[in-house]
Every structure is written in structure tokens, then in C-alpha cells.
Amino acid sequence: MQIVIPKETLPGETRVAASPDTVKKLCQQGHQVLVEHNAGLAATWSDQLYIDAGAAIATDTTQLYSSAALILKVNQPNTQEIDLFKPKSALVAQMNIHRFASLPALAAKEIDTYALELIPRITRGQSMDILSSQANIAGYRAVLLATHYFPRFMPMFMTAAGSVKPARVLILGAGVAGLQAIATAKRLGAIVEVFDVRPATREQVESLGAKFIEVELNDEERAAFEHTGGYAKEMSDDYKARQSALIAQQAAAADIIISTALIPGKPAPVLITPETVAAMKPGSVIIDLAVAAGGNCPLSRSDEVVKSANGVTIVGQANLPALVATDASSMFARNVLTFLGLVLNKEGQYAPQLDDEIIKATLVTHAGSIYFGSEAAPKAAAPAKPVVETVVAAAAITETV
């Protein structure tokens, strides 16, 4: 089968959907793999490494797609790429499906589209779970990014010149990114506190040495979390008011906030209000990992660093895994390779197991039809661009630097 690996077109993207290691395994299975020129260069993989793994290199994008039976991508295709896709081919990618408007164009070409972010949270899906593998990287990199902007040490220091208190880190959301952020911040010597709406995450948080803080739940709210599949959900206005008060109290004492809270298919919840930012200490840092879905802080901007009037730095880096391109690509590629076991048979032919739970969850276009329900989509983030620094007031922009 002809499998193609294009170079990613999303601005700022450095990852690639297949590594030389996974390409070698695909070639050993009898597939023909065609890699676009320099597709892996930003992840430190030259064309020669792919050639050594058994792939061929394509220098013409039109030719690349014209021969593709199966396309492997990190991100959703743009309209120009879709125009080049061969009818009745297959696409495997992270589609950012809740903010993707071109499913009808893919369906019109009878392309089988698999949205990897929809892989269900079941045991069998763990080795294919791109959200978890990339969130791990984002949580790790978020803490390191915070230390770059934080004007103090992270750990406690005892020196002849006196002692230095450890930084206090508040992490909002104890999913995969949040748990990795906890582990990284603890290794750097910080005092870590964690908030999550899901009471079941307490044990994981405390096992990493962090303090768990929570809003007291009533019986109805507690029962609601038994049917969320491990994801956070939209909460009542009463709960949100109690949550906002608790976070504001904790934020005032924090030096660094790492916010990771997302709700699948909906805008990210606002957890850090402008009023909360205004009450934080000068020199504090907020890393908003949810900025691509609207942000946990209304003052954060995609791929920008802003400063509040009271000296709080708010970082909205939308694609943190792209800053760790080699390992992020390796992990993504292994996820994809495992997933392909469900769509390719032992003879190397395209034969998706349509009754498989994972295929049912991820197949969003097939045989000219769309199989993904329409929902109110979060506002799409602006395309990635070089990070710039801006000064903002607590509620509005006042100056650019």
C-alpha cells in the first residue's frame, strides 16, 4: 500500500507523523512509503534517514498526494491540501475536529478520515492515544517555560547569602498534562498545589507529592462525574461561582499557574479571571495550555506573551509539543503505527475493522458521508506565529512593547 508522509503546513509546526523507526516497520510490512522532502527536518530527521529506513522522497507535493492511498499527518489538512487528495484515499491525523470546517470537502472526495483525538479512553486505546502522549510533553514543557519568565528560583536555597523560599506553583487540571506538570515542578523543588473538578484525581495528585484543593461538591455534582469517561464536564453556575472564589484565593498566593483545563467539544472554561490576575503578585507567571480552545484566562492570546498592568506574565504558547519536536514526533508516530493495525490487514491491504470500538469513534468521514455530529465549536485559535510580548491591563490592552 502507498503511504505518504507530507510536511506539515500549519505555521510553527515542527512535528512529523512518522519517524524513521516507524517508516522502517511499515516498509518491513510490505508498504511503499513516500515522504515529502524535509518533512522530518524540524524534528532532526533528514531525508537520508528516511531513505535508509526504506522510504522514497517526494519533492513535488502534487505528485505526493496523487499517489497516496493512505495519508499520515500530525494536523488537519488545509483546503489546498484537500484539493490535492486522491479520491477514495484515507487520512489519519489529529483533526482538531471541533474546530474543523472542511469535513464536507473530505466527504465529497469519499475520503476515509480518522480523527485520532477521538480515540476513546479505554485500555486498548492507550498505546494509540495521541492526546495523552502530546499532553505529557506539554505539561513538562509548560513548567520549563514558566521558569524562563519567572524572576526567581524554583527550589529553596540555603546559602551563605541567606535562604530563598521555594516557588509556589498552582496547577489547574489534573489530566495528563497537569500530572506531568506536577511531576516536573516537584522535581525542580517547587511547592505544588492542584485544583481539579474531578474528585477521583485526588489520589493521583497526592501520590506525586502535591496538595489537592477542591470545591466542596453536593451529591448531584459528585454523581455527575461518574459518567464523564475521565474527562472534565461543564458545571453549574453555582459551582462555577464557588470554583472562581477558590481559585482566586489560591492564585493570590501562587508564583506560577499552569492551567490545563479543557472540555471536549466546548470552549475552555474560564478559571483565571482578569480580577484574579489583578490580585496576583508582580512577577507571577501564568502558562495557559488551553489557549487554542479559547484559554482558561481571558487575557491570554494564542502564541503571545502578555503582561498585565500589575506585572503578571501570561504565556499563551498554543503548541508546546512542537518545542520538543523529536520526542513529540517519535511518540506521535508510535501512536499512529499502533492505530494502523486497525485499518490495515496482515496482507498490507486497507481493510478497516468498521465494527471496532476505536474505529467507530474515530472514523468521521466514510464513503461520502460524515459521521461526526455537529456541536457548538470553540472559536478557532489564530495561526501560530512568532511569540511576541505585549503589555495588557487587567481588562484591556493598554500598550504594546
Rounded to whole angstroms, how far apart are CA atoms 332 and 18?
A: 8
Greater model confidence, 315 or 232: 315
Q: Are strands 162-164 and 157-159 parallel, antiparallel or unpaired?
A: antiparallel
Give residue 232's pLDDT: 57
Average pLDDT of the residues of the chain? 91
Coil, strand or helix: which one is 379?
coil
CA atoms within 13 A on the CB side of 389: 7
pTM of the model: 0.88
Q: Fold match between 2-118+324-370 and 140-318?
A: yes
Q: Bigger pLDDT: 183 or 348?
A: 183
Per-domain boundaries in the chain: 2-118+324-370, 140-318
pLDDT of residue 393: 44
- Among candidate residues 52, 124, 231, 238, the one labeled active-site is 231
The active-site residue, picked from 47, 112, 129, 196, is: 129
The Cα–Cα gap between 70 and 52 comes to 21
Condensed to tens digits (0 to 9), the pLDDT of residues 99-123 reads 899 999 999 999 999 999 999 999 9
- Model pLDDT, residue 379: 36
Is the pLDDT score of 388 beyond 90? no
Distance CA(89)–CA(73), nearest Å, equals: 13
Please state the φ and ψ torsions of residue 93, each to the nearest 5 degrees: -165, 170
Q: Which pLDDT value is given to residue 361?
A: 96
| Chain centroid offset of residue 93 CA | 13
Residue count of the chain, please give it. Answer: 401
Is the confidence at residue 387, as pLDDT, over 60? no
- Catalytic residue selected from 126, 236, 349, 353: 126
Q: What confidence category does residue 220 fall into, taking pLDDT thresholds of 50, 70 and 90? A: confident
Predicted pLDDT of residue 377: 31
**At 32, which helix (H) or strand (E)?**
strand 32-36
pLDDT top residue among 221 and 151 = 151
* Residue owning grid cell 501562587: 254
The pLDDT value recorded for residue 380 is: 36
How many whole angstroms separate alpha carbon 261 and alpha carbon 263? 7
Active site residue 121: yes
What one-character DSSP code corresponds to residue 35? E
pLDDT-above-70 percentage for the chain: 89
- Report pLDDT digits (tens) over 307-351: 999 999 999 999 999 999 999 999 999 999 999 999 999 898 999
SS3 of 261-311: CCCCCCCCCCCCCHHHHHCCCCCCEEEECCHHHCCCCCCCCCCEEEECCCC
Q: Is 2-118+324-370 assigned to CATH 3.40.50.720? A: yes
Region 363-376: mean pLDDT is: 80
Give the 3-state secondary structure percentages of the chain, helix then strand then coil, rounded to 5.
40, 20, 45
Band of residue 216 on the pLDDT scale cut at 50, 70, 90: confident
Residue among 180, 209, 175 nearest 195 (CA): 175
CATH entry, 140-318, from 3.40.50.720, 1.20.1250.20, 3.90.76.10, 1.10.645.10: 3.40.50.720
Residue of 52, 60, 121, 238 with catalytic role = 121
Residue 132 annotated in active site: yes
Which of 19, 89, 94, 132 is flagged as catalytic? 132
129 is catalytic: yes
Distance CA 204, CA 208 (A): 7
pLDDT score of 81 more than 80: yes
